[in-house]
Every structure is written in C-alpha cells, then in structure tokens.
Amino acid sequence: MREIVVFSGNAHSGLAEQICADLGVELSPVEIHRFSNDCLQVQLQVNCRQRDVYIVQPLVPPTQEHLMELLLMIDAARGASAAQITAVMPHYAYARSDKKDASRISIGGRLVADLLVAAGADRVLTMALHAPQVHGFFSVPVDHLTAIGVLADHFRGTDLTDTVVVSPDLGNAKTATQFARLLGLPVAAGSKQRLADDRVVIDAIVGDVAGKKAIVLDDEIATGGSIIELLDRLKDLGCTQAAVACTHGLFAGKAVERLRSHPSITEVISTDTVPRPDGFPELQVSSVSKLFAAAIQRIHDGESVSSLFDGVDPTHAPPQPKLPF
C-alpha cells in the first residue's frame, strides 16, 4: 500500500503534529521562503512520488497568507508526482461567503474551492462547514467531519438538570437539535438578524428557557457578537446561566474580553481546529486530532469515513433506512 506523507504550513502546526502522533507517522518538513518582493515559495522536504499526501492547514488569520501557503504546498505535491493529494482544512474560513445576499458581491466559498482544485487537490477533509451548500462548491470529494460528539462528551457526566441547548440562530438549529439528542436535552433557538459582520440583533427565542441553564452551541465564534446578544436575551427571559460551546473558536477582536466578562457564562468550550487564543486561560479545549487521524487512515485504506459518526449525526453517517411506500 502507498505510504502516507503529512505536511503542514504555518497555520496550526500543533494540530498537525498531534494528528501525526495519533496516526503513528512523522510530520514531514516544509520550507516556506519569502522573497524580497513578498512572494512565497514552498519546497516539500520529503519524497512524494506515488505517495498519499495530506496537507494540514486550517484557514485562520492571517487567512490569505495561510491560503496561499496551502495552494503552493498542493501545487508542489502535484509537481512531485504525488498519487493523491488531500487538503486537510479543519477550518474552512471562506464557508461564510456562501451566497449572493447583496448586489455585486463575491461568493468566496466557491472561488476558494475552485482554487484548491486548480492547484491540484484530489480531495478535501474538513470539519463543521458554516452552511451545508458549501459542500457542493467542490468538484472533488469532500469528507465533512462533525465535532458535536466530541463537544457532547465534555458535558456527559455533569449535572444537566433543567438544561436546554440553545442555537444562536435558526440556521444552526438542526445541528443544535442533534447535539441536544446526544445529551437527552430540549432545544431552543434565537431568531437572528445580522446588521454587520460584528453586529446582530436577536429579537426572539423559540423554545422554553425560563428558569433553565443553557448550553449555547455554535459552529464558529469570531467576534462573539452573536453569543453576547443571545446571552442578554436569554437572561431577559429568565435563563439562569450558560455554558458556551463551539467548534471553531477564533475569538477575534474583543471576543475574549466579551466572553470573560459576561456574568452569565460559566464556561467556554472549543475544539482545536484553530490555534488557542492568547489571554484566555479559562478556555477549555477538546481535541479533534483523533477524529482527523481516523479519517485520514480510512481515506488511505479506502474505508468509510461516515461510519465514524454512527449514532452521532445522521447527516454525516451512513444512509438511514427509507420508509416503505
């Protein structure tokens, strides 16, 4: 069988090293050089010929820099005659640019997908895309992982009496519902209107939250504006306290300050799809490295990736039995 070779750019080498440790392979070195005119050059330091190459690079700030590194690494692997190239992007930042919701606006999610394929990616492995339709932007196979099982494990064994899972918006309600089922809890959702990238209004909460503790679940926290707005509405409706859980904890701008100072928050939980932010020692991080390592091994062996999520999320797991007609 062909050998697995794993490379990483500068976006999140710690996660890449942990994935390699779980896989039982060495993280192969990459030399990234910047010319005097600010252009990047990438050289892979290990033979790739007829090997399965996996390049681990979440799109995190500086996002454009890390995207260019990823494209150049993919191109270098293709030029080195790799048998198969998989772009492992734990966080696909451009998934938020998924629709034309204003005049003359770009759809970055589709453009970046095209760039990855043009560079030479044969497959994409990612986690918790912002919207389901982003999966269809790619013209190559996409293995889409979910972290809700990992996040649910954090809360198992804790006192969940009078607890409700709350989604910040109706778009994420389906994922929140599946997360609530894993913990045997009811679910609620906010009705959100986005005014700007960091400004939202939540004008209603669908579901019963009075006198309950909340677990607020979101796919991504950037500036924290949605979460803080939601927590204020929950408090107005009689919610006593809240834990905040997300897959991609970017915590940009004033997010750390906002979350640390909010009186309703008891804990914040994220995964390590992106690097841990500075100045947030209270943040609890659950690793998804074993999930990615298992997915890489299954891709390499030609086995099912979706079976990783049997009993976790039917969206990612094998087809469910159809009703008889």
Active site residues: 192
Distances (CA, A) of 322 to 74, 125, 168, 325: 40, 28, 32, 9
CA gap 95, 112 in Å, rounded? 9
What residues have CB less than 8 Å from 167, skipping those under 6 apart? Answer: 173, 175, 176, 187, 188, 189, 190, 216, 217, 218
Q: Which residue has the tokens 């390699």?
A: 20
What residues have CB less than 8 Å from 182, skipping those under 6 apart? Answer: 148, 149, 152, 312
Strand blocks (E) in 170-264: 187-196, 199-206, 213-221, 241-249
Sign of CA dihedral 47, 48, 53, 56: positive
